[in-house]
Amino acid sequence: MSKTTTLQRAIEVNLTPAKAWHVLADSGLICHRHPAVSPVTSTQHEGAGTTRHCNFNIMDASAEERVVEWNTGRNVKIEVYELRKMPGIATTTMDLALEPKGEKTLLTATMSTR
């Protein structure tokens, strides 16, 4: 029997919903801010099916990521799969959702691991 752990965090960001979506939709952008994530590895750079590779050098571990859900202006859901040297974790999903709050945006991240 696999056990699922879900974590959720919401923060209000000082960006309009359109600007927040622009940042969220750029799947390749994270590689400039997170050393474990490579640039996009698929031929497409946005939308469902976009992929990236993650190297967790400190643990000698790695994983693959793919966008499994894409709702323009609302949310992106990413699945982490093919985890190597990460015992106890079969798969992880991260849903990043945007909710307009006037000129600001509520960003909610929901991560589920099993």
Beta bridge partners of 10: 108
pLDDT of residue 40: 74
Domain locations along the chain: 5-113
Question: Cα dist. 21→29, 59, 88, 104 in Å?
Answer: 12, 32, 33, 12
pLDDT of residue 6: 96
CATH of 5-113, one of 3.40.140.10, 3.40.50.300, 3.30.530.20, 3.40.1010.20: 3.30.530.20
pLDDT of residue 21: 93
Per-position pLDDT tens, the chain of length 114: 568 999 999 999 999 999 999 988 876 545 445 566 667 778 888 889 988 888 887 788 888 889 999 999 999 999 999 889 888 888 999 999 999 999 999 999 999 999
pLDDT of residue 32: 45
Question: Cα dist. 37→10, 12, 73, 93, 105 in Å?
Answer: 22, 24, 23, 15, 25
pTM: 0.84
pLDDT of residue 97: 96
